[in-house]
Amino acid sequence: MDSQSPRPLSDDELHALVDGQVSAADRGALEARLGLDPNAQARMTQWKRQSQLLRGLHRSVLDEAVPSPLLEAARQTATARQSADRWWRLGGMAAGVMLSFGMGWLANTTWQAQQPGSMSARIPASNEFVRQARYAHAVYAPEVRHPVEVTAAEQAHLVQWLSKRLGRTLKVPNLSAQGYELVGGRLLPGDTGARAQFMFQNGAGIRVTLYLGAMQTPAQSEAAQEAAFRFTTDGAVPSFYWVEQGFGYALSAPLQRDALMQLAQAVYQQL
């Protein structure tokens, strides 16, 4: 590298720009260096898009007042937030988002436990399942360096590991006929236990995620509709999802309904 060339922007400097946490005096110099760093520009674009997707998923609740039980649960997790910096260094933005998600989910669960008659308790389990699937897609699909925990190169290990954690023999569908190749997968938390996410990508860079895991046994009226595919465009990412014998599957991607339906049918036939 030319000794006169400015050094590349660090992750901390990029985060400061994305989050607006930089002084006016420093912004000009950072933006000048950003203009000379194509890699940093690409990462910054990805992170901004990720932030927009996350906000889109929860736009309906952004202006709601925070319930006092939830505030109390949040205070109980304050010590966990002190480790946030370590997570940012280890995993970048995705790790920081998932740490916040984990603490928020813990607080939300505590609040729901104290509110048996709340609206959340009346939401069908399948609706909550697909919401979590879309959230997981929005967090990890834009990731450049860490989209998965275990790559496709270790597919046998990935399947064995996730099968053990989910307590069920899993199978990764082959979508090469549809133009998608496996990127890898990861373990995720769910409201009834561990969940898995498999990620696929085509030549155009479009990523599809398959989210799966055990669900609570639904009411009899809902169980009668389990096998049918259901399509949802709620939030920022369209999804097809279905439930069979207490196990849920959700396929999410930024695709038109027909294209996503073809992929869902291919997945269903192989699982």
Please write the tens of the pLDDT for every residue from 113-136.
444 443 333 345 677 888 888 888
Is there a single domain that holds both residue 171 and residue 102?
A: no
pLDDT digits (tens, 9 = 90+) for 216-229: 655 544 444 455 66
Domain span holding position 13: 7-61
Q: Which of 85, 114, 143 is the last residue of a domain?
A: 114
Indicate whether 1 belongs to any domain: no
Is there a single domain that holds both residue 143 and residue 265?
A: yes
Indicate whether 141 belongs to any domain: yes
| pTM of this structure | 0.55
CA distances 263 to 226, 250, 257, Å, are 19, 11, 10
CA–CA separation, 70 and 106 (whole Å): 10
- The amino acid at 180: Y
Q: Which of 36, 61, 86 is the last residue of a domain?
A: 61
**Partners of 242 in the beta sheet?**
249
For residue 125, the Cα-to-chain-centroid distance in whole angstroms is 18
Contacts of 104 (CB under 8 A, 6+ apart): none
Is there a single domain that holds both residue 103 and residue 45?
A: no
Pseudo-torsion of CA 126, 166, 152, 243, nearest 10°? Answer: -30
Is there a single domain that holds both residue 52 and residue 162?
A: no
Is there a single domain that holds both residue 134 and residue 230?
A: yes
Please tell me the predicted confidence (pLDDT) of residue 177: 93
Is there a single domain that holds both residue 142 and residue 239?
A: yes
Is there a single domain that holds both residue 146 and residue 252?
A: yes
- The amino acid at 59: R
Tokens (6 digits) for 271: 């699982």
4-36 burial code (b ≥16 CB/10 A, e <16): eeeeebeeebbbbbbeeebeeeeeeebeebbee
Most confident among 77-86, 129-138, 236-245 (mean pLDDT) = 129-138
Is there a single domain that holds both residue 240 and residue 132?
A: yes
Is there a single domain that holds both residue 223 and residue 252?
A: yes
Indicate whether 119 belongs to any domain: no
- Residue 92 parent element (H or E): helix 84-114
Question: How many domains does the chain fold into?
Answer: 3
Please tell me the predicted confidence (pLDDT) of residue 208: 94
**CATH code, domain carrying 153:** 3.30.200.100
Indicate whether 120 belongs to any domain: no
Is there a single domain that holds both residue 262 and residue 162?
A: yes
Is there a single domain that holds both residue 150 and residue 192?
A: yes
Is there a single domain that holds both residue 57 and residue 72?
A: no
Collapsed DSSP state (helix, strand, coil) of residue 41: helix
Indicate whether 103 belongs to any domain: yes
Indicate whether 264 belongs to any domain: yes
